[in-house]
Structure 1
Amino acid sequence: MTTETTVQPQLLLTVEEAAEVLRIGRTTMFELIRTGQVATVPIGRLRRVPLDALQQFIRERQR
């Protein structure tokens, strides 16, 4: 029997994971969120960072 495992990319990241992706500190990540430079999604009492919000942030910085 063959079992295929497909790794799905994470669509939503914790603030800490998002900071890790950008290779910045947690405090800096919270500042980017607070100032609206990086969008987040509220889920109950949690806040998650969409992967595409990080990609958008990077694209804007490249201009």
Structure 2
Amino acid sequence: MKILPDDELKIAFLEALAELEDNECHRTRKFPKTRLHKVKGVKQAIYRADIDKVSGWRIHVQ
């Protein structure tokens, strides 16, 4: 199990989860913080949401 290295990434992780649960973001299909998008080249519907683009932290959702 990986542990988030610092408090900034912990907060960014919670903000990303909050955005993914926000009905308004799903209604408008705009995800400014996580830039949620479908992963190309995979048969299954897998989406990627960035937690922190610089560090490479991401969430993959199926």
Please report the TM-score for the alignment, with normalisation by the length of structure 2: 0.31
Between the two structures, name the one with larger relative contact order (CA 8 Å, sep ≥ 6).
1
Higher helix share: 1
Higher strand share: 2
